[in-house]
Each structure stands twice: as structure tokens, then as C-alpha cells.
Structure 1
Amino acid sequence: MLNNVKRLPDILSIFGVSRSHVYQQVKDGLFIKPIKLGKRAVGWPSNEISTLLSARIAGQSNEQIKSLVSTLEASRGQS
């Protein structure tokens, strides 16, 4: 399956939040960590973004989101 990578401007547009909010959510375990694309570039796998967005829309609690984030990050590279 082809997986696209979303860069920060895409993430900000999709979630409607600020850059600092995204990185605070990453720090708090409520948003997936970005993957390195190069020396000074990061991005987020689009399938993980879709899964996280669906969970938010479904109204999952912060604890459920933290668990989902952990699962998504743990499954990277296992396919």
C-alpha cells in the first residue's frame, strides 16, 4: 500500500491548530511523533494521521488517544 507523508503545513490545515499546539500534543503523547525525512525535514504518515483524526472525530478520550498513538508508533516499520 502506498503511504503518503504529510508535512507540517498539511497537518496544521487538517487539524486547524498551530505549530506549537501540534508539538505540545506530541510531547503530551496525544499526537504521533513525526518521522525524519532528512537532516532538517520531518513528516507524518498519512495513514496514521487519518487514523488519529478518525479517533478524534469519534470523540475518544485523551487516554484512548494516548493508547492509539502508542500503538501507531509501535507498528511503524513492522509491515
Structure 2
Amino acid sequence: MFYRIKELEALTGLPRSSIYRLAREGRMPKPVKLGLRAAGWRKKDIDDWAASRSA
């Protein structure tokens, strides 16, 4: 299962630009290419990332 950018924005409360910046800096999982113009983040990667931030 994957989170798309809109779902990730709602889940994290972060704007799109911050999500992509954190991923580029290696502070958040990177998106996975799902198609020519589609990307998503693996649910497990984001769940693990969120758990590590709250710990």
C-alpha cells in the first residue's frame, strides 16, 4: 500500500514542499515511482518514520 502526496500532507500536517525537502535531505523516506507522473510513499516506511519521530 502507498500514500500519495495529498494523503501524506493530511497525515503529517506538512506542506508538499517540506515533504519533498525532507525526503531529498534523507530525513524522511523517499517516494517510489508508481508511473510516468505518479509517485507514492510505502505505508510501512512512513509508519516506521512516524514512529521513530514520536519515540
Q: TM-score range by the shorter chain?
A: over 0.9
Structure 2 counterpart of 1:44, which letter?
Answer: W
Structure 1 residue aligned with 2:39: 42
DSSP-derived class of the 1:21 partner: helix
Runs of 4+ aligned residues of structure 1 deviating over 6 Å after TM superposition are none
How far did 1:27 drift? 1.4
**Bigger proportion of residues as strand:** 2
TM normalised by structure 1 equals 0.67
Identity of aligned residues (%): 33
Q: What pairs with 1:1-79 in structure 2 (closer than 5 Å)?
A: 4-58=1-55
Structure (1 or 2) with the larger CA radius of gyration: 1
**Aligned residues between the structures:** 55
What residue ranges of structure 2 are gaps of 5+ in the alignment?
none
Over the residues paired in the alignment, what is the CA RMSD in angstroms?
0.6
How far did 1:30 drift? 0.2
DSSP-derived class of the 1:30 partner: coil
